[in-house]
Structure 1
């Protein structure tokens, strides 16, 4: 019974710990890894919000929406494969989560900028795949 109670509280404790971490002054590998994970989660959240905005604008064009979905799936596969390769020199080491996490965060931030550009398209811009508002 005690084990189940502890396991039930573990996510809550980890969440509280994650909020208490000072990523600007991370001094040990575990903290740096946690911070990299938090940064990736924040970038991923922003990317998903922008993706939802774009799919909303494409609701009247199922063909374009399918192209976006396919492109995003391919991009995610590329990002993950690229970062596995990028971090392969430290695979199995304690620094791997940091190197991999930083890579996916940077590539995600670049994709965020692409999505932001799509969302700035002006009505009538034939070179832009996302209709303006």
Structure 2
């Protein structure tokens, strides 16, 4: 019993040292460093959101593939992802509630699309980092320190044990 708890605690502690998602400033620096106009900011923020969407989808699919031999876990992962998507959408709606009213009234500022894209991208990059922990197997005593992109490209499938 104590050994199982120790392995679980090590997994949680190990998670604290995992790859960190890009901060909001890092997203701006990475995608929009050369943007000088609002049109360029809109374009680079859309690229950031597109990359975040692709990474989120690929990581989620890799997690499902890795844990496919465990139907109860896969079902809970699917439910967790659905719940996270609901949270993401609600969080964005709350963050931009006033701006959305202004947009509907035709008085939203020109930075609205950029702000919206970058905020959503940040949330999605955070979720990717969380999903990577499932690929690393931290909660189950594994610890694969490969970059998340490598784990997504080549997910190790966990065989079912009777």
Q: Give the alignment's TM-score, normalised by structure 1.
A: 0.69
The answer to whether the 8 Å contact 1:87/1:99 transfers is no
Please report how far the alpha carbon of residue 45 of structure 1 lies from its aligned counterpart in structure 2 after TM superposition: 0.8
Alignment correspondent of 1:97: 113
Which of these residues, 84, 96, 102, is aligned with residue 93 of structure 2?
84
| Length, aligned pairs only | 108
Q: Does 1:64 align with 2:73?
A: yes
Task: Classify 1:30/1:90 alpha carbon distance in 2 versus 1 (closer, same or farther; 3 Å).
Answer: farther
Please report how far the alpha carbon of residue 78 of structure 1 lies from its aligned counterpart in structure 2 after TM superposition: 0.9
Please report how far the alpha carbon of residue 132 of structure 1 lies from its aligned counterpart in structure 2 after TM superposition: 5.6
The answer to whether the 8 Å contact 2:67/2:158 transfers is no
Alignment correspondent of 2:62: 53
Matches within 5 A, 1:99-118: 99-118=115-134
Q: Does 1:41 align with 2:57?
A: no
Which of these residues, 77, 82, 85, is aligned with residue 73 of structure 1?
82
Please report how far the alpha carbon of residue 49 of structure 1 lies from its aligned counterpart in structure 2 after TM superposition: 1.3
Task: Provide the C-alpha distance between the structure 2 equivalents of 1:57 and 1:31, rounded to a whole number of angstroms.
Answer: 39
Gap runs ≥5 in structure 1: 1-21
Per-residue deviation, residues 18-45 of structure 1 (Å, max 9, x unmatched): xxxx832222222212211110110111
Runs (4+) of structure 1 exceeding 6 A deviation are none
The answer to whether the 8 Å contact 1:122/1:132 transfers is no
Alignment correspondent of 1:8: none
Q: Give the alignment's TM-score, normalised by structure 2.
A: 0.58
Task: Provide the C-alpha distance between the structure 2 equivalents of 1:114 and 1:80, rounded to a whole number of angstroms.
Answer: 18
The answer to whether the 8 Å contact 2:55/2:128 transfers is yes
Task: Provide the C-alpha distance between the structure 2 equivalents of 1:132 and 1:28, rounded to a whole number of angstroms.
Answer: 48
Alignment correspondent of 1:15: none
Gap runs ≥5 in structure 2: 1-30, 143-156
